[in-house]
Each structure stands twice: as C-alpha cells, then as structure tokens.
Amino acid sequence: MSSTQKNTITQVHWQPLTKLLAPSGKKQQALVGFDDEFIDIVDYIIRITHRIWEQKNVGLCYDYYGEVCPVFTLGGYSECVEQVVQNTLKTIAAFPDRSLIGENVIWKEEEDKTYYSSHLITSIMTNTGNSDFGVATNNTGRVTTIADCVCFENKIIKEWLVRDNSFLIAQLGIDLIDAAINFAQLNPNETFKQWYLDEFDRVRATKHRTPLTLTSEDWTTEHFVKSWAQTLFNQKQFSTLNDFYHVAAAHQWPGGRKSTGLAQISGTLIQWLAQCPDAKMTIDHTAVVGFDEDTIDIAIRWSVAGTYSPHLQRLATLKGNRFFVLACTHMRVKNKKIIKEVTVFDEISLYANIIRESGMSLPQLAQGA
C-alpha cells in the first residue's frame, strides 16, 4: 500500500452527525449478508454504535453481535452476546449520559470476506453509579476508546476493545493504583488467563534484533508500520523518530500523555518503555484508508510483552513480573510521516494484571499507602 490512497467510502471527519445517520449516497461496498440500509462498512459501524449506545437500544446487540463473539480486553474476556448486553447495560447504568462520538473508522476488507473495522471513539460520561472503578464520583470525564471489530453478514463476530481508563479516572478523581488494586480483585475467567499467558509467550518470541530500515524507495504502509515497531519499540532507536514522525506531530498516549514534536514524543516513549526495558512489540493487525490527496489513516493493533521494572514506588514489590499490553493506534500519515497519533490501552488493567499475578495484597491510599 502506497503513501496515498483514494477512498470513496464514508469518511467521518467532516460529516455532521445528521448526515452520518441518514446517508444519501449510493451503496459503496457489496456487504453481502448485511442489511440493505447500510451503504458501506463505516456507515454500518457508525449507525449501529449510535443505536446501541447513544439511543440506548441495548437489545440491538442481539441483532448486531454474533451469538458467539469473543471480545478481548486487557481487563477480561467475554464470549457471547449475552455478556455484551450485560456489560453494556452495566456501563450505561454507571455512566447514564455516556455519549459515543465517532472520530474515525479505519477499515479493511479481509481475504476471508469479513470486514475489519477500527473505530476511534471519544466519550463524555458522568459517573453517577458505582462501577468497577469504585463508588460513584458524580464527576464527568472524557475517554478515548478504540474498538477493533471483525464484521460478517451484519454481525460483529470478534472484537478487541481498548479504553484509556487511566485518563478517565484522573478526571473522576480516582487514583490509578487504587483503581488497579480494585480491578485486581476481579477474577477473570480461565479463557482470559490462558489468552494472557499465550499472548505473552507469543510476543516474547519476537526476534527483536533484526534491523528493519525504512527508505523512501521501498515505502509501503506495511513496511512503515513494521519498521516503526521494530526500530522504536523493539530496538529503542529514538534518534530515528524523524524517519517516522513529522517534526510537529501531535501524539496522544494513555493517561494524559500529550506530546508535540520529536523531543516530547521521544520523552514519552522512553519513559513509558523504561518500566519494561526488555519490551518486545508485535504488530497484530494493520488497516489503511485514504484520508485526502496526500494523507492516509492507519489503524494498528499491537501488543507489548516484557518484564516489569516499576517506576512507581507503590508498585516496587512487583519488579520482575509479566508486563503485557494490548493496544490500538490510529495514525494519520502525510508525505510518509506521522502527523497525528492516538494510542489507546488500559493502564488500569495493565497494572491490575501485574498485581493479581503477583498474588500480593497492596494497600490503597486510604489504607495509608
């Protein structure tokens, strides 16, 4: 895939919601087995999300999710539509005014006739009910979510869901480690535990020393993404940031890490990676669509695994435990350089998994930590 790409499918960026909910264009994709009303996969994702979440028709999950639908998150695993319905209802109850503002949908038509969609969402929500984070705070917060879905014949049949929970709780007034200690007390099912171990081993097997240089002549999206992962995350070659990022690139990472330009981005990556200095990264899925004449949007699902080296004093006793992250990134690339990046993963679950695996009982702030 080159650094430019024509795209006639629905683009969310400049569309008013009224037009997105009542598309007037012709059908753009075959969408075999999908309801006739949908003109393309972006339209499908935007409208079913609006119906389920903003109109609160939770029962529509039965129409738009497969009976068996594995949903992977860093905090747990669910497998059937009943769990999707129940989790949706619980979240709406704790955050009744939750809005889901679709920022972008990056998609790919797969060889097995499924559609892969990566949906970047901003939500505004007020925490009026008790939740897994703790008791209701009555504060309003903003959170970024990326939902990567496999869609087939009008249904989502597999999903990877990541949410920037650490940024959300910072606005709600909840301490990150306290929340992680609460999450660690939840007992995920056996499928999650096995998936977590399998994924950790898979990512650790990556050959991280192989150089993967990037030149203008052999530039493809796939090569760019693999080189981004190998050079920056696996080999920690931060002086090459200029090969990947524009000098004024905007960079958003979980927990309120907002950077502009190479110096700040370098600082963010170095400080984050320092808590897992032997980190290895794998690129697990890539999708790319055109944005405008010289700009493309890339969605990446990736994983990082390594050994935890605590940067927070409260977690110092957890040194040496498994460190595993499931993450998604949306990047806008212009003239072969990233001009904007949004990366999302759940830092609460990241630390909760480390705490739970350690078997240790850590005190919360209220207990004198």
Q: Which residues of this chain interact with other proteins, rule CB under 8 A?
A: 12-17, 20, 97, 99, 101-103, 122, 124, 140, 142, 167, 170-171, 239, 241-242, 246-248, 250, 255-264, 266-268, 270-271
Min dist. Cβ of residue 180 to other proteins (A) = 16
Q: Which is nearer to other proteins, 40 or 347 (CB)?
A: 347
Min dist. Cβ of residue 200 to other proteins (A) = 26
Q: Which is nearer to other proteins, 187 or 271 (CB)?
A: 271
Q: Which is nearer to other proteins, 99 or 154 (CB)?
A: 99
Min dist. Cβ of residue 363 to other proteins (A) = 23
Q: Which is nearer to other proteins, 92 or 157 (CB)?
A: 92
Min dist. Cβ of residue 175 to other proteins (A) = 12
Q: Which is nearer to other proteins, 113 or 258 (CB)?
A: 258
Q: Which is nearer to other proteins, 242 or 367 (CB)?
A: 242
Min dist. Cβ of residue 360 to other proteins (A) = 25
Min dist. Cβ of residue 112 to other proteins (A) = 32
Min dist. Cβ of residue 36 to other proteins (A) = 25
Asked if 180 and 315 count as a contact pair (C-beta separation under 8 A), the reply is no
Q: Which is nearer to other proteins, 150 or 172 (CB)?
A: 172
